[in-house]
C-alpha cells in the first residue's frame, strides 16, 4: 500500500508542472475553480438548504429546479451593484481589506492535498505554512474594519483580531500533536504516515489515547479562527450589525464571503489531514476482502478528501444554526482557561506517548 502511494505521489501535479507555464497556471486555477464551485453550491446554497431543513422551511425554491440557480442569481445581483466606497472611509485600506482576506484564504490551498496525486506545492513545512498563511486574514479584517471608518466595523475588527490571535495558540498546539505523531510537517507526509491496511484505525485520531482531545481542541479553535458560530462574534449580526464588513456591498462583500467559505473548507481540510487520514480510505482490509486497497488511489483520494472535509463544513453549518453566540469575554475565557490547558495536556501526553509507545 505505502509503496503504491509513493509511486503515484504528486504524479498529476508533477505532470502539470512539466508542461511549463501553462501547467503552472493550471495548478493554482484548480483550487480557485474548486473554491468558486464549492462556495457557490455547497457553501451558499447548501448552507441555505441545511438551515432550511433545520428550521422547518424549504429554503430557496424559486430560481431553477429546487432553487439550484439561486446563488447564480445572487452573484448576478451582487455584480450589478454599484461599488460603493464610503466618503469617510480610508479608500486604500477599504479596498485592500477584502483582497488580503481572499489572498490569505486562497494561498493556504497551495499546500492542500486533494489527492495523493495532486497538491499545489508539497512543502516540507506544509502544515506550518497553512496555519500561518490563514492568519494573514487578521490583517485583512483589521484593514477592512479600520478602513470602513465605522464604529461597529472597528468593534468587529478588534474583536476578530483578539479572537483569531488567541485561538491560534490552542489550534497550533493541537496540530503539533499530529505533527509529532507524523514526525513531519509536510501534508502529504502526514497522510502517508496514516496509511495502513487497518483503514480508519491507522488514522492519528485512533493512534494515540489522547489524540481525540487534540482533535476536539483543534475543531473548536478552528471554528473561532474562521469566525463561525458560536464564535461569530466579529460579525455578530445582532450586536455589531455585520461587524467588520458592515460597510461593504456588492462584489467586495461577495469576496469577503468567498474568503470565509474558503477558510471554512481549509480548516476542515487541515483537520482531515492531521487527524483523519486525508485522502486515505477509511475501509479496512478484512481477510481476503482488501477493501482498503480497492478504495485507495488518486481518484478515490479526491473522493475521500472532499467528503471528509465537506462533512466538517457541514458540521460547522450545523453548529451555526443550532447554538447561540458567546460573549466576547466568555470566548476569551474558553480559549485561555479551557482550551489552552487542554491543548498543552494533549501535547505533553502525546509527546510521552510518541517517545515510549509510538504506533500501536
Partner 1 sequence: MSDDLHIEPTVRLTSVDENTTILEKDLDTEHMLVQMGPQHPSTHGVLRVELLTDGEVIVKATPHLGYLHRCFEKHAENIDYPGIIPYADRMDYLASMNNDLGFAVTMEKLMGIEIPERIDYMRIIVSELNRIASHLVAVGTYAIDLGAFTPFLFCFRDREHILNLLEWLCGARMLYNYIWIGGVSHDFPPKFKERVLEFVRYFKPKAREIYRLLTENEIFVQRTRNIGLLPADVAINAGASGPMLRGSGVKWDLRRNDPYSLYHELEFDIAVPDGKASVIGDCLSRHLVRAIEIEESLKIIEQCIDKMPDDPNFDPHATVPKRVKPKAGEIYGRTEAPRGELGFYVVSDGKGTKPYRCKARSSCFVNLSLLGEMAKGQYLADVVAIIGSIDIVLGEVDR
Whole-angstrom distance between the N-terminal and C-terminal Cα of the chain?
18
Shortest CB 231 distance to partner 1, Å: 10
- 54 is a site residue for partner 1 (CB under 8 A): yes
- 56 is a site residue for partner 1 (CB under 8 A): yes
Q: Which is nearer to partner 1, 81 or 327 (CB)?
A: 327
Q: Which of 178, 191, 223, 326 binds partner 1 (CB under 8 A)?
A: 326
How many helical (H) and strand (E) elements, i.e. helices and strands, does the chain have? 16, 2
- 55 is a site residue for partner 1 (CB under 8 A): yes
Residues in CB range of 137: below 8 A, 6 or more apart: 100, 101, 104, 105, 164, 259, 263
Stretch that binds partner 1, among 34-42, 73-81, 323-331, 337-345 (CB under 8 A): 323-331
Shortest CB 319 distance to partner 1, Å: 11
**129 in Cβ contact with 112 (< 8 Å):** no
- 164 is a site residue for partner 1 (CB under 8 A): no
Shortest CB 94 distance to partner 1, Å: 20
Q: Which is nearer to partner 1, 124 or 322 (CB)?
A: 322
**284 in Cβ contact with 291 (< 8 Å):** yes
Q: Which of 91, 151, 337, 359 binds partner 1 (CB under 8 A)?
A: 151
Question: 3-class DSSP state for residue 111?
Answer: helix
Q: And the C-alpha cell for 172? A: 497550533
Question: 3-class DSSP state for residue 4?
Answer: helix
Q: Which is nearer to partner 1, 91 or 151 (CB)?
A: 151
Residues in CB range of 288: below 8 A, 6 or more apart: none
Stretch that binds partner 1, among 51-59, 72-80, 258-266, 298-306 (CB under 8 A): 51-59
Report the C-alpha gap between 170 and 331 in whole angstroms: 13
Site residues (CB under 8 A) for partner 1, limited to 327-356? 327-330
- Residue 276 CA from chain centroid, whole number: 14
Shortest CB 315 distance to partner 1, Å: 15
Shortest CB 65 distance to partner 1, Å: 24
- 76 is a site residue for partner 1 (CB under 8 A): no
Burial of 174-183, coded b for 16+ CB within 10 Å and e otherwise, reads bbbbbbbbbe
Q: Based on C-alpha coordinates, what's the Rg of the chain? A: 21
Q: Which is nearer to partner 1, 162 or 290 (CB)?
A: 162
Contacts with partner 1, residue ranges (CB under 8 A): 51, 54-57, 151-152, 155, 229-230, 232-233, 236-239, 241, 321-330
Amino acid at each position: 500500500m505505502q509503496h503504491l502511494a509513493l509511486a503515484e505521489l504528486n504524479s498529476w501535479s508533477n505532470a502539470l508542472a512539466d508542461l511549463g507555464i501553462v501547467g503552472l497556471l493550471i495548478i493554482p486555477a484548480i483550487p480557485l475553480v474548486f473554491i468558486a464551485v464549492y462556495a457557490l453550491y455547497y457553501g451558499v446554497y447548501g448552507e441555505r438548504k441545511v438551515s432550511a431543513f433545520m428550521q422547518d422551511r424549504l429554503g430557496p425554491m424559486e430560481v431553477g429546479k429546487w432553487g439550484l440557480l439561486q446563488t447564480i442569481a445572487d452573484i448576478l445581483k451582487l455584480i450589478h451593484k454599484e461599488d460603493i466606497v464610503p466618503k469617510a472611509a480610508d479608500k486604500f485600506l477599504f479596498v485592500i481589506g477584502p483582497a488580503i482576506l481572499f489572498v490569505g484564504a486562497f494561498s493556504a490551498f497551495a499546500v492542500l492535498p486533494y489527492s495523493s496525486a495532486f497538491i499545489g506545492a508539497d512543502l516540507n513545512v506544509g502544515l506550518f505554512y497553512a496555519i500561518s498563511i490563514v492568519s494573514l486574514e487578521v490583517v485583512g479584517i483589521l484593514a477592512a474594519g479600520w478602513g470602513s471608518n465605522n464604529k461597529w466595523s472597528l468593534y468587529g475588527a478588534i474583536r476578530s483580531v483578539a479572537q483569531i490571535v488567541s485561538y491560534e495558540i490552542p489550534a497550533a498546539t493541537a496540530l503539533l500533536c499530529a505533527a509529532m505523531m507524523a514526525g513531519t510537517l509536510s501534508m502529504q507526509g502526514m497522510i502517508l504516515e496514516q496509511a495502513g491496511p487497518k483503514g480508519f484505525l491507522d488514522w492519528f485520531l485512533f493512534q494515540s489515547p489522547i489524540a481525540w482531545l487534540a482533535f476536539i481542541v483543534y475543531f473548536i479553535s478552528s471554528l473561532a479562527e474562521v469566525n463561525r458560530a458560536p464564535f461569530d462574534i466579529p460579525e455578530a449580526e445582532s450586536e455589531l450589525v455585520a461587524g467588520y464588513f458592515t460597510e461593504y456591498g456588492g462584489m467586495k462583500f461577495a469576496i469577503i464571503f468567498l474568503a470565509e467559505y474558503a477558510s471554512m473548507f481549509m480548516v476542515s481540510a487541515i483537520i482531515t489531514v492531521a487527524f483523519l487520514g486525508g485522502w486515505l480510505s477509511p475501509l479496512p482490509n478484512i481477510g481476503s476482502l482488501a477493501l482498503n486497497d480497492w478504495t485507495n488511489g488518486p481518484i478515490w483520494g479526491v473522493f475521500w478528501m472532499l467528503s471528509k472535509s465537506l462533512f466538517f463544513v457541514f458540521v460547522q453549518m450545523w453548529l451555526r444554526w443550532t447554538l447561540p453566540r458567546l460573549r466576547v469575554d466568555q470566548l476569551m475565557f474558553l480559549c485561555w482557561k479551557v482550551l489552552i490547558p487542554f491543548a498543552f495536556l494533549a501535547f505533553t501526553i502525546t509527546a510521552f506517548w510518541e517517545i515510549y509507545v509510538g504506533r500501536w
